[in-house]
Amino acid sequence: MPNTYAAPEVPDSKVTPTFVRDELLKCFESANGEFARILHQPVTDEQLKQQVKSFVEGVFSQCGVSYVAPTKEGIVTAISECKRNAEQMMGSKGAEIIEHHYEEMMKLVNRL
């Protein structure tokens, strides 16, 4: 299982919308891995990667924002929707995990 996600320390020049979108996938893999442990649902890293990619692409699509050519505004919209979905799914059991991952992603988004 992946370790708890932390926003990478990278130069500002690397912080592009595509980079942040890709980090969002890593962040979600971390959060969902933690949720799986809390819920005692065994999942392989490969299953987790596929589920997360399909979920995140779906959220971008539902929000009407581009996954392929992301923008800061689109990413903010998608992250907010992901956060709401996770809060509904996990409730108080996942609150700390969700808040940690949201804060880490916003560190990157705010640099866009």
**Residue 84 DSSP symbol:** H
- Predicted confidence at residue 42, as pLDDT, reads 87
Which residue segment(s) compose the domain that 21 sits in? 12-109
Locate tokens 């996942």: which residue? 94
Contact between 105 and 24 (Cβ < 8 Å): yes
Q: Is residue 5 part of a domain?
A: no
Residue 39 counted as domain residue: yes
Number of domains in the chain: 1
Domain assignment present for residue 4? The answer is no
In tens digits, the chain (112 residues) has pLDDT values of 447 999 999 999 999 999 999 999 999 999 999 999 888 988 888 999 999 999 999 999 999 999 999 999 999 999 999 999 889 988 898 999 999 999 999 999 999 9
Are 51 and 32 contacting, i.e. CB atoms less than 8 angstroms apart? yes
* Residue 49 within a domain: yes
Nearest to 81 by CA among 97, 58, 100: 58
- Reference 104, options 74, 71, 79; nearest CA is 79
- For residue 56, being part of any structural domain is answered with yes
> Are 63 and 83 within 8 A, CB to CB?
no
